[in-house]
Amino acid sequence: MPKEKPDHHDAELVLKLYDLRRETVMRESRLRIVREFNPKSWEDVVAVVGNFEHPLNAAYRQVSSYWEMAYGIARWEIAHAEYLVEGNGEGLLLFVKLKPHLERFREEFSPRAYHNTEWVATKTETGRRYVELFQTRLAKVLAAAAKR
């Protein structure tokens, strides 16, 4: 049974997640994925994810595994889901970027990919709001890039 409200244990976990996000390499990886990873096609996804030599591959692996781990803490009720997602929505931006390719991603790379993130995106109110917000923002970013 899920917790009705967060407690100090949830706060400790969320603060630890925040500390991990501040680590120098992680911070740089997060920045690169937010700014530079904007796949417009399946081929764009494969170019990064399927090629260990790609300049974004290490950042992608670090960021995607971090957020999947963090959202697993919510999915498995280790921490209060809404509370955790409230301050940790950034991973849902990566999910939104990959969502159009998720089925194929699971077929060709990993059948379990993004299961925790998808749970957060669909089963929490906060996650659903973040996904809607990020889909709108990403559409604007991609439209602006297409005009250049």
* pLDDT at residue 2 tops 80: no
pLDDT of residue 1: 61
pTM value? 0.92
* Residue 63: inside a domain: yes
Average predicted confidence (pLDDT) for the chain? 95
In this model, does residue 100 exceed pLDDT 90? yes
In a domain, 141, yes or no: yes
pLDDT band at 64 (very low <50, low <70, confident <90, very high): very high
Tell me what the mean pLDDT of segment 36-65 comes to.
97
Decide if 101 is inside a domain: yes
Residue 124 has pLDDT above 90, yes or no: yes
Q: Alpha-carbon dihedral of residues 83, 86, 89, 95, nearest 10 degrees?
A: 60
pLDDT at residue 47, rounded to an integer: 98
In a domain, 2, yes or no: no
Residue 136 belongs to some domain of the structure = yes
Tell me how many domains the chain contains.
1
Domain that holds residue 62: 8-147
User: 1 in a domain, yes or no?
Assistant: no
